Amino acid sequence: MLKRKFTYENLVDLLVPIVCILLGFIVGMILIAVAGKNPFGAYFALFQGAFGSLSNISEAVLKTAVLIFTGLSVGLAYRVGLFNIGAEGQFIIGGISAAFIGHWVRLPAFLHIPLIFLFAMITSGIWALIAGWLKVSRGVHEVISTIMLNWVAYYLVENWLVVGPMAVQAPSGSTISEAGTPMIYPTAKLWRFVSDVPDLIGKIFALIAIALVVFFIAYYALKRGTKIRGKALWFFSVITTAVISAGSAVFVFQWQSGIPGVRMNIGIFFALAAVVIVYFLLFRTVLGYEIRAIGFNNQAAKYAGINVKRNILLTMFLAGALSGLGGVLMVCGTEFRFPGVFPGGYGFDGIAMALIGQNSPFGILLASVLFGIIRGGSTAMQLPPYKIHKTFADIIQGSVVLFISAYYIIRYVLMLPRKRGEM
């Protein structure tokens, strides 16, 4: 097997996004200084706001999870050669779908939450599929159709459903009305594993999840790191899983109290799983190969016998489903209904995550972590003594995207030392 040599060009490719991020922070510092504020103190407050307490960390994690889903949505569509500007609309459709199933359907939690996820994936996937169908059947550019669909989703949901058919019904005789949909049932809420102690069934499910994760990690670690194969590989994987699961069971069943006020929930695990699944889909399956081939050269892929139209439709459906899951995390993880004013913008932020992460699932993960930290800690910048406006977090993000758009210029500059050495 040939080993790939790590070259200077590979190093530069890794450095470009890091340099873009640093330049974005420098621009933010300059603008804060121009505004007459202390940039070093402001950044200190930002990171203290993100890491100063477990509650602060949990807020950064919540935002990271949503950004992962919308970033993956944009990144996956781009792999097939489409620019999915409609992640925001798909995000809204996923959120309202979760609010509908969460309140108007009653089921046990182990059925209710999977149904919400499935329904939201279907509805938001179909919403994105409209743009895909217009693309392959009528040649309508996806940027135009997805932007229009964003506004259709916004006005359909927030200006009709939320204030009309799905609005909270005011008590008879009351003149006070509450904005938004009714609260979802407790069985539809995502488990806050830090603040809420699970019941016996929940603890059993937690142990099953631990066992599955440990087994797959042990299996691939032994397969990659040792010469153990066949039945022996399965045997040692099972033994490792049993030992670690037994040790975990001691702590899980002694779990008696949580930390109140921490909103972090299992949504982050779904987001991390999505990163792995999308990576596996793109780089370990025939479908992923076809998607990437179409993205590289549409006509060549068609000439090679790849069904371009089918793959575009399927990819847009999957991209919409991913963004819709971000909406589910908002409704079932933090809001517990679709509020009158939905915390929007995450779909558009997904575009930035995909650009910064260079449309790589793990790159999107890292970009989402960074901007989850920035958005989670930006609240602390607004407090005395710094009183930095909350939009500075958007300025930093926009600056990074601006520098990312100059990717090849920055890459050229970083390559200059190598070129001078060859002269």
Q: Do 329 and 94 contact (CB within 8 A), yes or no? A: no
As beta bridge partners, residue 339 has 180
Q: Distance between CA 68 and CA 73 in Å, rounded?
A: 9
Amino acid letter, 285: T
Q: Which residues contact 91 (CB under 8 A, 6 or more apart)?
A: 70, 124, 323, 324, 326, 327, 344, 346, 347, 350
DSSP 386: T
3-state secondary structure of 333: helix
3-state secondary structure of 344: coil
Q: In this predicted structure, what is the pLDDT of residue 72? A: 98
Q: Distance between CA 84 and CA 335 in Å, rounded?
A: 26
- Which residues in 176-201 are b (16+ Cβ under 10 Å) and which e? eeeebbbbbbebbbbbbbbbbeeeee
Give the residue ranges of the chain where pLDDT is below 70: 1-6, 170-177, 419-423
Q: In this predicted structure, what is the pLDDT of residue 106? A: 94
Q: Do 127 and 356 contact (CB within 8 A), yes or no? A: no
Over the stretch 258-317, which tens digit does the pLDDT of each residue have? 888 889 999 999 999 999 999 999 999 999 999 999 999 999 999 999 999 999 999 999
Q: Say what the pTM is.
A: 0.91
Listing DSSP states for 270-304 in one string gives: HHHHHHHHHHHHHHHSHHHHHHHHHHH-HHHHHHT
Q: In this predicted structure, what is the pLDDT of residue 202? A: 80
Q: Distance between CA 43 and CA 64 in Å, rounded?
A: 19
Q: Distance between CA 278 and CA 359 in Å, rounded?
A: 11
Q: How many CB atoms lie within 10 A of CB 156?
A: 16
Q: Do 353 and 71 contact (CB within 8 A), yes or no? A: yes
Q: In this predicted structure, what is the pLDDT of residue 420? A: 65
Question: Closest Cα partner for 157 from 234, 91, 67, 249?
Answer: 91
Q: In this predicted structure, what is the pLDDT of residue 1? A: 41
Q: In this predicted structure, what is the pLDDT of residue 363? A: 93
Q: Which residue reads 């058919």 in tokens? A: 165
